[in-house]
Amino acid sequence: MGQLERKRGGAPVAMRRLTLITVPYLWLLALFLIPFAIVFKISLSDIALAIPPYTPTMEDGLWALLSQLDFENFVFLTEDDLYWKAYLSSLQIALISTVLTLLVGYPMAYAMARAPEEWRPTLMMLVILPFWTSFLIRVYAWVGILSSEGFLNQFLLWLGIVDTPLKILNTNTAVYVGIVYTYLPFMILPIYAALDRLDGSLIEAAEDLGCSRLEAFWLVTIPLSKNGIIAGCFLVFIPALGEFVIPSLLGGSGTLMIGKVLFEEFFANRDWPVASAVAVILLLILIVPIVLFQRNEQRQAKAEK
């Protein structure tokens, strides 16, 4: 019986293994890598060639393909300071909101890690729950709060802190609020995981060796949750950099973010080569934090071994 079964599974093992690898492999090649190559190609072509109906002109031969390529679109990007500004301001907005998210998220993660054992699953669920809720709706919720006749302004007027409504919606401040709000779980979870793993006797050892509570926090807790902090910051920074929904909905006309520029370049101006060039450069900018993030993760995995 056993032998029979073995035989049945034995022959096609290599075939099965091949299928197992091939199917997802081909899928990703076709729907991830090739589209990417196309973006790259279009970013290097003239606008006329890229206007629909666009067809990849591979059949003209490699030389023809290469001779068509030029860096005009990239030169265009460097000449128009809209793009420069958009890149820089994306970096700035992503950076500031990452720091703000850390400032909000760390104390929460810390308190969660110190909470009684039986509360933790509930707290955890409360952090994750918004993540399952529609991103768009969570951003939209702030429109009603931050607008000039919104709840925040009504509240501030009622308190008497301000006498004229503050303009918050359609400013960068609203974008910061939106990013902090939507990406907060990404910051809390890795920090919580790091703090949860932290051996409580290390803090006791630090106190035993003469540290005050605060010193023990700075000298032991912070360095030992460093990996969680770094992971959380990247998890916020990377998607924030290419964010489109938040700056479009909460930001103003002055809010320049590269994701928004790309979207508008593509849909409003229908300038595909420039949109593709914007995408390529956004990707190049992202490579640095992504590689750093990967390295941090790998180092952490190694340290755990």
- Residue 195, interface with another protein (CB under 8 A)? no
- Minimum separation from the CB atom of position 25 to another protein (A): 6
| Count, residues near another protein per rule CB under 8 A | 115
Q: Which stretch binds another protein (CB under 8 A): 70-78, 79-87, 157-165, 193-201?
A: 193-201
Name the token pair of 228.
């969680």
- Minimum separation from the CB atom of position 231 to another protein (A): 12
Considering the complex, state which of residue 96 and residue 224 has its C-beta at the smaller distance from another protein.
224
Considering the complex, state which of residue 96 and residue 211 has its C-beta at the smaller distance from another protein.
211
- Minimum separation from the CB atom of position 67 to another protein (A): 20
Q: Which stretch binds another protein (CB under 8 A): 65-73, 74-82, 156-164, 202-210?
A: 202-210
- Single residue of 86, 102, 112, 246 touching another protein by CB under 8 A: 112
Q: CA 269, CA 144: separation in Å to the nearest integer?
A: 30
Sequence-separated (6 or more) residues with CB below 8 Å from residue 189: 109, 127, 128, 232
- Minimum separation from the CB atom of position 206 to another protein (A): 7
Binding residues for another protein restricted to 282-301, rule: CB under 8 A: 282-283, 286, 290, 293
Considering the complex, state which of residue 104 and residue 166 has its C-beta at the smaller distance from another protein.
104
- Minimum separation from the CB atom of position 230 to another protein (A): 13
Q: Which stretch binds another protein (CB under 8 A): 72-80, 94-102, 160-168, 239-247?
A: 239-247
Q: Which stretch binds another protein (CB under 8 A): 27-35, 63-71, 93-101, 157-165?
A: 27-35
- Residue 92, interface with another protein (CB under 8 A)? no
Dihedral sign from CA coordinates of 232, 96, 242, 166: positive
- Minimum separation from the CB atom of position 156 to another protein (A): 13
Binding residues for another protein restricted to 37-76, rule: CB under 8 A: 38-39, 42, 52-56
Binding residues for another protein restricted to 123-162, rule: CB under 8 A: 123, 125-130, 132-138, 140-145, 147, 149-151, 154
Tell me the one-letter amino acid at 188. I
- Minimum separation from the CB atom of position 51 to another protein (A): 11
- Single residue of 60, 78, 92, 223 touching another protein by CB under 8 A: 223
- Residue 202, interface with another protein (CB under 8 A)? yes
SS3 for 69-137 is: CCCHHHHHHHHCHHHHHHHHHHHHHHHHHHHHHHHHHHHHHHHHHHCCHHHHHHHHHHHHHHHHCCHHH
- Residue 279, interface with another protein (CB under 8 A)? yes
Binding residues for another protein restricted to 258-277, rule: CB under 8 A: 259, 262-263, 266-267, 272, 275-276
